Structure 1
Amino acid sequence: MRSLSRVPALPLVVGVVLAFLVAGCAQPYSSSRGPSSGPTGQGVVWRSGTDTASALDSYRVTPWNTDDGDDPRAVSSPDVPGRAAIEYSVPAGGTRSELEPAYRSFRPGDEYWFGFAVYLPPDFPAGTSDWQVIAQWKNSGDGSPPLSVQVRGGRFVLDGGEGIGEHWTRDIGPARTGARTDLVLRVHFSDDPDEGSVDVVQDGREVVSDYRPRGGTLYPDEVSYLKTGLYRSSDIDADGSVFYDDVVIATSRDAASSLASGS
């Protein structure tokens, strides 16, 4: 038998290095997207889980998820029997309870559809004039995001641009409490106001079409990533909770619209 100590070392080392390089090339997005614990289906690239044991598995754990708020938790859905929801709760005077879907950042030229099945409980302070963000495409730098969905004055509104001095806002529709609302958005990501655009479908009806924010949908030289939950002004003196039955990132409107359907 040939002694292993006499086998030339160089071929072995080269082989190990080549194997490592091939393995690395096989998973180019491993650092930027995580598994989806929920069902996918054609056109869906990320989805939240459907049961309390797995609903949080496809979100990133970050130290900035909560700020004077409760940690997000998986609970039984308040409006869809047999399904999990994620509850985000912030007490009076608190500011943040959020999660980041474990999916890659969005860059200039990207276009995706996003589906949110949102339940606002009867005691949610929807009528306040202070800002309450329930979803935001947060820029990679500091400051307010280029694009967010807020609840304010009893309405869902699009908002953004403040971080570059180009603040804008656009009404979506009524924010009903004690009921679920399905919001489906198409976002074309660009820092060019002539290219960045947004469509919004509320409960199956298109309410915003090809809206082009004056600040674009990205900030120059930055990327954005999605955050869901509740982030709001500390001036709000009432407790607030938001339940997400489902969150979908997809490449088509139909795929993003299959909210909490089990498809």
Structure 2
Amino acid sequence: MIAAGIVAVLVGLLAPGPALASSPTPPGGDGLIWRADDGGDMLGSFQRNEYNEQDGAPREVSSPSGHGQALEFSLQGGDQRSELLPRVPDGREGDVYYYGYRGRLADDFPVDAQRFQIIMQWHHYGDEGSPPVAIAVQDGRLMITGGDNDRNEAYQQAIAPIRPGDEIDIIVRIVFSRDPEKGTVDVWSGGRRTVTAFHPPDGTLYDDGDYMKVGLYRSEDLSDPASLTLDDVAVGRTRQAVDAAMVDQGASSAQGTPDAGTEESTGSDSSLRTGLAVGTLALIGAVVAVVAVVRRRQRL
């Protein structure tokens, strides 16, 4: 009977089963670096200065999608800049970060404009020239863009078609490097991977680092007004962390990522089960020894 009980215990411990319960963790877990506060003082989540708001300060409004607060950025024709700086680390050589963005274009947003309209950018430390990487609305497309054919080669890479009033729901992965062979950009749009390992012609860094800005930055040549709302923005070291932190996980994707292997399978549950089994074996061994001694004494 004792032997049968021991076998039953071992089978129960070593057989595969559901994951062991873990302590609850906040959305994003340890991989999340920063997320804008959409439930209170959303503007307070960002660094602000007069230069970035020279043509208009963003306003905190109720989210058009019903998710707490949002930020509204508006520019009139001829205006150029209304931007904020997320409180996040700069991108430096070898860094890999994921950036989540969720917003909505106004119903009259001039999506077919022939000039740049940047909604998110990673600008080099130098004051002159266009950024190495930016997300823009131009020619009826949401796109990655950068460079200016003056100091660095200009480029465009389509992400998805876009229309006035559309939601923008993206996660951007950037490998920061001055080496064009190493610097890459990936984009998930609306839960679907639409850009994979794109290499900007002069890399994703033009000098020692890139700092992030969000809002609206557009060509002064544009005469039509433009407005958009920003619902959510988050930054992390993994796509899963950023996705979990975003409003109702709107930018989720079931497709694979370059880091999927390290994120999706840590082996922690099976290791814990194995550890428990080893400890239990030791305990059972001690019990068996005691039983043997007791039986031996009973025979005497």
Superposition TM-score, scaled by structure 2 size: 0.70
Residues 18-67 of structure 1: CA deviation (Å, up to 9, x unaligned): xxxxxxxxxxxxxxxxxxxxx7631210100112x311112002221223
Does residue 45 of the first structure (1) align with residue 21 of the second (2)? no
Give the aligned partner of residue 140 of structure 1: 125
Does residue 99 of the first structure (1) align with residue 105 of the second (2)? no
Please state which structure has a larger fraction of its residues in strand. 1
Over 6 Å off, 4+ runs: none
1:18-29 matched pairs, under 5 angstroms:
none
1:1-263 matched pairs, under 5 angstroms:
41-42=28-29, 43-51=31-39, 53-67=40-54, 69-79=55-65, 81-142=66-127, 143-162=129-148, 164-219=151-206, 221-258=207-244, 259-261=246-248
Take 2:228 and 2:38, find their aligned partners in 1: how far apart are those partners? Answer: 17
How far apart are residue 177 of structure 1 and its match?
Answer: 2.3
Structure 2 residue matching 1:57: 3-state secondary structure: helix
Residues 196-229 of structure 1: CA deviation (Å, up to 9, x unaligned): 001001000100001111110001x321110000
* Structure 1 residue runs without a partner (length 5+): 1-38
How far apart are residue 254 of structure 1 and its match?
Answer: 1.7
Structure 2 residue matching 1:66: 3-state secondary structure: coil
Residues 226-258 of structure 1: CA deviation (Å, up to 9, x unaligned): 000000011111111111100010111122223
Take 2:240 and 2:179, find their aligned partners in 1: how far apart are those partners? Answer: 27
* Higher gyration radius (CA): 2
Structure 2 residue matching 1:190: 3-state secondary structure: coil
Q: Identity percentage over the alignment? A: 38
Take 1:56 and 1:145, find their aligned partners in 2: how far apart are those partners? Answer: 24
RMSD: 1.7
Code of the residue aligned with 1:45 in structure 2: it is I
Take 1:112 and 1:205, find their aligned partners in 2: how far apart are those partners? Answer: 18
Contact 1:40 1:47 survives alignment (8 Å): no
How far apart are residue 92 of structure 1 and its match?
Answer: 1.3
Structure 2 residue matching 1:249: 3-state secondary structure: strand
* Structure 2 residue runs without a partner (length 5+): 1-25, 251-300
Take 2:212 and 2:118, find their aligned partners in 1: how far apart are those partners? Answer: 12
Superposition TM-score, scaled by structure 1 size: 0.80
1:166–1:262 CA distance, 2 compared to 1 (3 A): closer
Please state which structure has a larger fraction of its residues in helix. 2
Contact 2:28 2:242 survives alignment (8 Å): no
Contact 1:197 1:213 survives alignment (8 Å): yes
Take 1:166 and 1:92, find their aligned partners in 2: how far apart are those partners? Answer: 28
Give the aligned partner of residue 260 of structure 2: none
Contact 1:97 1:229 survives alignment (8 Å): yes
How far apart are residue 262 of structure 1 and its match?
Answer: 7.9
- Aligned length in residues: 221
